[in-house]
Amino acid sequence: MAEELENEYLRIEEDIVAALRTVYDPEIPVNVYDLGLIYCVELTDEMFVTITMTLTAPNCPAADFILEDVRMKVEDVEGVTGVEIQLTFRSRVEQGYDERRGDAGVRLPLAAMSERKKVFFSPVMPTSDRAITRILVP
């Protein structure tokens, strides 16, 4: 049973990354995942996804479009039960993600193993240092 659950997590993780790679900032010909705008993706046992991400600029004119596109495409991944997006303008290091510790581009268990949360990170890109803003997209 545990192996089946692990395989399901891996499949959903791959599908989420593939979905995020189809989301583009209309002004930049690079997807949000490879651009490093996705800081963290958490997947719970109930297959609920929490995405911590940033934008290219705090006043990005396409913010609503990008956030909605991320939400819709990740929600469409088979097995995902819901999506919450947390938008931040704090740097990765301020939030505790440090590529020197192996936190970037690697799926890591952030919570206790008994909770079986899966966490993975996108490639590292610097961002501006702004206060965190939490946006919940129903």
pLDDT digits 0-9 by tens, 49-82 = 999 999 988 888 999 999 999 999 999 999 999 9
pTM: 0.69
Contact 42, 119 (CB under 8 A): yes
> Residue 122: is its pLDDT beyond 90?
no
Strand segments (E) across the chain: 38-43, 48-53, 82-87, 107-108, 118-120
Distance from C-alpha of 70 to C-alpha of 47, rounded to nearest angstrom: 16
| pLDDT confidence of residue 132 | 32
Q: What are 101-114's pLDDT values in tens digits?
A: 444 443 333 333 33
Distance from C-alpha of 80 to C-alpha of 116, rounded to nearest angstrom: 16
Joined together, the tokens standing for residue 81 give: 């039960």
Contact 80, 74 (CB under 8 A): yes
Question: Nearest Cα to 136, choosing from 72, 69, 86?
Answer: 86
Question: Beta strand 82-87 with 48-53: parallel, antiparallel or unpaired?
Answer: parallel
Distance from C-alpha of 74 to C-alpha of 129, rounded to nearest angstrom: 27
